[in-house]
Chains A and B, each alone.
Chain A
């Protein structure tokens, strides 16, 4: 059973607009959430994270929102740029245990000029 779900396999957005990528989780023990970006032929790279004690974390054009009661997080990219086109993975961990990251299946974002 999937513990981390990204229900949208793909998303297409116009350059300059907002991109919103969504992620849901089922395990209430998760207390640390991360987003990774992956370009073809490269390894995933860390983008931004949030701890369960916060509901928002911002880094430049990237903001992650966490709604613990809904077990939902989202990544907002504003403004979107063509270079943001990549696959985005949501991941979660329960840091009290071994802290293994559980990944979603990914969402492919296409930002059109």
Chain B
């Protein structure tokens, strides 16, 4: 079954405690991306990756890092989380036809 898998699905943490949200896809897609969804703001792109070792900033990259060492994995790293990073995060990979295939989301709360 085609899947984009994110972990954890839910996390409550404290300011400054480094965390990583993992993302893995089993469709051999080259392009992967991270979005955050906030009330009234829709989906905003954080980072994207065109392929292994190729990453670039999206619209709201501040406070985030990513890496793409293997095609299937695209982790999102928050080195020093702050309360304004409390959000719902989605990882996605892109089909050859152009549409994104999303994971189920990771709800992060930073206290």
Contacts and interface: CB of A to CB of B under 8 A. Distances in A.
Interface of A: 6, 9, 32, 34, 41-46, 49, 89, 91, 93, 95, 98-106
A99 B43 contact: no
Contacts of A98: 48, 50, 56
Interface in B33-50: 33, 35, 40-45, 48, 50
Q: What are the 4 tightest A-B residue pairs by CB atom distance, in nearest-first order?
A: A43-B102, A105-B42, A103-B43, A46-B99
B99 A34 contact: yes
B104 A101 contact: no
Interface of B: 4, 31, 33, 35, 40-45, 48, 50, 56, 58, 90, 92, 94, 97-105
Contacts of A99: 31, 94, 98
Main secondary structure of the interface of B (DSSP, over half): strand
A100 B98 contact: no
A45 B48 contact: no
A106 B88 CA distance: 15
A42 B100 CA distance: 14
Nearest to B50: A98
Nearest to B45: A100
Q: Which of A6, A93, A100 has the most CB of B within 10 A?
A: A100
B61 to A, nearest CB: 13
A88 to B, nearest CB: 11
B90 A89 contact: no
A113 to B, nearest CB: 27
A46 B4 CA distance: 14
11 contacts: A44-B43, A44-B102, A46-B100, A49-B99, A89-B43, A93-B98, A100-B48, A101-B100, A103-B35, A104-B42, A105-B42
